[in-house]
Structure formats: structure tokens, C-alpha cells
Amino acid sequence: MLFENKTFVNFSECPVKIKKDKTIIRNCIFKSPCKGFKFAIYLEDVKDCIIEDCVFMGFKQKGLCIFLNRKTNKSNNLIIRNCEFINLWPVDGVTNGLETIRIGTSHMSLSNSNSIIDNCTFINCQAEKEVISIKSCGNIIKNNVFHNSRSLTLRHGNDNQVINNTFVRSEGIRVCGENHILMKNIFYECENNILLLYGQKDPKLNGYAPVKNVKIDEQNTSISNHVQKPSCIIEPDFLKIF
């Protein structure tokens, strides 16, 4: 199935709902949704789908741009690439449920989604703390740019990779869980670079898992006032640096 070259403006219901494997969504524009919308793109238990060269802009209502809802533990292999997310603003009194991209939910978070977010741009994505919210295992987030946006969050799940992303005046990376790899990321004048959450002792699936065995490459770099220096990393005892 192919969705291509479509424009959705002032929509109140989800314009694209995908429940079929190997669907491609290409070169579509999603702009200025109305109050009451929940998702621009909703995917449910799909495999081998691609979202590419799409633009999401002017969101001022509660809702998500892209939501992969995992109701089973099967691998998804979703690819989101070459997309732009621009001017996604907060909603008065709402602090949750406005992620730009959410991969999974807490109840299936310990299984592998194996999805990729690659070469996307996030500009003024301020709707909530989690611009990208990863709630599954085995995902790769690479080659993306975050400008004046909030955080990339590994919220639930393990074994995710965050590689070669650039954060400009943004909130960096927030980490829960185990066995993640963070490599070659650049932080330019960010309030936080990499924030590791100690978490809870025996967390529920929707709780905060402690950080364990997270590998942080020395090539993660912080640049402030045009002076290059090593990234500032919180280093609990269970953190492995290489």
C-alpha cells in the first residue's frame, strides 16, 4: 500500500491509519490539526512500513505526529526517515500525550520493535518533554537534528542506539533502562546533554527503570560558546564509559 503526495490541513480525525504491513507513506504534508485530533499517522502492529520525506508543521493541539502502537511483541522494523517536524507548540495545561514520535507503549516495552528514525529534522518541537519517546527495545535513532526542541527520551525498553545526532539549544537525551549505546552525538549550547535517570528499585512497566550498562562513547561532544569540550555526563557506578 502506498500513500504519496497528499496534504492534510485542519484535520480533526486521524488522516492516516495503518494496519497493513509494508505500507509506504511518502512525501505527505500534515499541517495545523484542529482540536480533538489524536494522531496524524497511527500504525498498529505493523511490520516493514516506511514513512519518508513527510512534513509535520504548525501543531498547537494535543496529539501525536506519529504513533506506533505495539499490541504484540513482534518486531516492527518501521523506518521513519528524511522527515521534518516544525513548530509543534505546547497546549495550555497539558504536559503529556504530545510526543512528536512515540515508538511503542509501556506494556510491550521489553520486546524488540527494531525500528529506525534516520535523518529527520526537529525544529521548535516544544509540545512536551519527550520529542521522541522510545518505549520498546532494539531501536536506532541516528543522523537527526534537534533545534530549539525538547528531549529525545529512551523512556521504556532496552538495547537502543542513539548515534550521530545533533542537538542545538535543546534538552538532549534522557535515558532509562539497560544496555543502550550513545555514540558521536553533538550538543551545542544545550541545557542538558545526556541525563541518566537513576529510576526506581522495582519499577512497573510504566515506571522508571534504572540505568544499567549504558555505553557512552567519548566522541559525544558538547560545544558551548564556540568552545569545544567533552560532553558532561552523569556517571553512576553502573555506567560503562568507552
The residue behind cell 491509519 is 17
Q: Do residues 153 and 197 touch, judged by C-beta distance below 8 A?
A: no
Q: Please name the residue ranges forming H helices in the chain.
A: none
Phi, psi (rounded to 5 degrees) for 107: -70, -20
Per-residue DSSP letter, 225: T
CA angle, corner 15, sides to 14 and 18, nearest 5? Answer: 85
pLDDT per residue as tens digits for the range 162-216: 999 999 999 999 999 999 999 999 999 997 899 998 888 888 888 889 999 999 9
pLDDT per residue as tens digits for the range 31-90: 999 988 899 999 999 999 999 999 999 998 889 999 999 999 999 999 999 999 999 998
pLDDT at 216: 93
Q: Do residues 32 and 10 touch, judged by C-beta distance below 8 A?
A: yes
Q: For residue 19, what are the contacts with CB-CB under 8 A and spacing of at least 6?
A: 43, 44, 45, 46
CATH number of the domain where residue 56 is located:
2.160.20.10
Report CA torsion sign: 141, 118, 221, 132.
negative
**Cα–Cα distance between 165 and 142 in angstroms, integer?**
6
Average confidence score pLDDT of the chain: 90
pLDDT per residue as tens digits for the range 146-165: 999 999 999 999 999 999 99
Burial class (CB in 10 A: 0-12, 13-18, 19+), 155: buried
Q: Please name the residue ranges forming H helices in 150-222.
A: none
Q: Count the domains in the chain.
A: 1
pTM for this predicted structure: 0.92
- Residue 222: domain span: 2-241
